[in-house]
Amino acid sequence: MDLRKLAADAVSQNKKAALLIGGAGVAILGLGLGYKYLRKPEKAVRVGVVSQLLIHPLKSGKAVPLALAECQKMGLKFGELQDRHWMVVTEDGHMVTGRQEPRLVLVSLTCEGGQVCLNGPNMEELKFPIKQPDNPVLDCRVFGVDIQGRDCGDKVSHWLTHYLKAEKTYRLVHFEPCMRPRKPAEKEAVYQQFEEVAYPDFGPVMLLSEASVKDLSSKLEKGVTVERFRPNIVISDCKPFDEDSWEELQIGSVRLQRVMACGRCLFTTVDPETGVISRKEPLETLKNYRLCKPSEKHIYKTSPLFGQLHNVKKTGIFQVGDVVYKITR
Note down pLDDT in tens along the chain; length 329 residues: 454 554 445 445 544 444 444 454 544 455 555 545 556 789 999 999 999 999 999 999 999 999 999 999 999 999 999 999 999 999 999 999 999 999 999 999 999 999 999 999 999 999 999 999 999 999 999 998 999 999 999 999 999 999 999 999 999 999 999 999 998 888 888 888 888 999 999 899 999 999 999 999 999 999 999 999 999 999 999 999 999 999 999 999 999 999 999 999 999 999 999 999 999 999 999 999 999 999 999 999 999 999 999 999 999 999 999 999 999 98
**101 falls within a domain:** yes
**232 falls within a domain:** yes
**305 falls within a domain:** yes
**245 falls within a domain:** yes
Residues 6+ apart with CB under 8 A from 165: none
Domain count, the chain: 1
The CATH number of the domain where 284 resides is what? Answer: 2.40.33.20
Question: Where would I find the beta strands (DSSP E) of 123-193?
Answer: 126-129, 137-142, 145-151, 170-174
**13 falls within a domain:** no
**29 falls within a domain:** no
d(CA 30, CA 49): 42
**32 falls within a domain:** no
Structural domain that includes position 306: 44-328
**Are residues 165 and 106 in contact, defined by beta-carbon separation less than 8 angstroms?**
no
**194 falls within a domain:** yes
Backbone φ and ψ of 27, nearest 5°: -65, -45
Whether the full predicted model's pTM is greater than 0.75, yes or no, is yes
